[in-house]
Structure 1
Amino acid sequence: MTHDPFETSGEPPVILLVEDDGLLLMEAADTLVDAGFRVLEAPQADKALTILERNEEIDLMMTDVDMPQGSMDGFALARLVAHRWPTIPVLVVSGMGTPGPHDMPEGARFIPKPYAPNTLVRTLRAFARRAA
């Protein structure tokens, strides 16, 4: 029997949420906390990498693509995370169009913005169960 990370007896799945827009970061974090996740927040990719290097408990990551601050965009971050932490599923979100053929790492998922909160939660729950 596989472990379901949403069972009330276990720890909630930990998601690293990478979003440069403060309002969107807050809204997504609130949605995910209400859905049973524990959320770590990063306003850009460099901060996300620092969090990943210091925390072994991260179960999945969600990143925006367009982040003007920092050394890389969300696609580059997703590829780096897939390479360095291959057990962490990655969800990429963007309002700037769909990804090209080499933008996303293998196994990553994409949701266009604006997204419905229930679509976000459903996708991340499926990721968390797959990673468990």
Structure 2
Amino acid sequence: MTDTPEQPVVLLVEDDGLLLMEASDTLADAGFTVVEATHADKALKVLENRDDVGVLMTDVDMPQGSMDGFALARLVADRWPRIPVLVVSGMGTPGPNDMPDGARFIPKPYEPTTLVRTLRAFVRRAA
């Protein structure tokens, strides 16, 4: 077995229980530690209480909570600029002011390999 750098904690924000479970399992199988949140307000509580979150992955359309995934992405980029942001959505592509600088977007449905590859690239870039 080769020595690989430890994968960071991924804060996964997804309101659909099945998609949350599938993405969480995919990321855990790839060696990431996953912390789950079902909406933006829960995600913010996680970020305020943990200092080990290395990547935020958020869905856009979340009926619960006070904001959607785009607003969460912008807030995290502003308050925690060291945390890279990945936004996923099946509702179309982001508009010109939806995403913070440096954030990445993956449309749903996404291939698990695309998700893992994108997050690993984020980890390398942020390191």
SS in 2 for 1:59: strand
Partner letter of residue 98 of structure 1? Answer: T
1:86 counterpart (81, 84, 90) = 81
Q: Show structure 1 runs of 4+ deviating over 6 A.
A: none
* CA–CA separation in structure 1 for the residues paired with 2:100 and 2:6: 28
* CA–CA separation in structure 2 for the residues paired with 1:57 and 1:46: 18
- List runs of 5+ in structure 2 lacking aligned partners: none
2:54 counterpart (51, 54, 59) = 59
**What's 2:36 paired with?**
41
* Equivalent residues of 2:10, 2:56 under 8 A apart: yes
**What's 1:13 paired with?**
8
2:115 counterpart (82, 101, 120) = 120
* CA–CA separation in structure 2 for the residues paired with 1:22 and 1:77: 19
Q: How many pairs are equivalent?
A: 126
Question: 1:12 deviation in Å?
Answer: 2.8
* CA–CA separation in structure 1 for the residues paired with 2:50 and 2:25: 21
SS in 1 for 2:53: coil
TM-score by length of 2: 0.96
* CA–CA separation in structure 1 for the residues paired with 2:73 and 2:3: 28
* CA–CA separation in structure 1 for the residues paired with 2:36 and 2:6: 18
* CA–CA separation in structure 2 for the residues paired with 1:102 and 1:119: 24
2:97 counterpart (102, 107, 121) = 102
Question: 1:7 deviation in Å?
Answer: 4.4
**What's 1:72 paired with?**
67
**CA offset digits 1:15-46 (Å, max 9, x no partner):** 00000000000000000000010000000000
RMSD between superposed Cα atoms in Å: 1.2
Partner letter of residue 46 of structure 1? Answer: D
SS in 1 for 2:56: strand
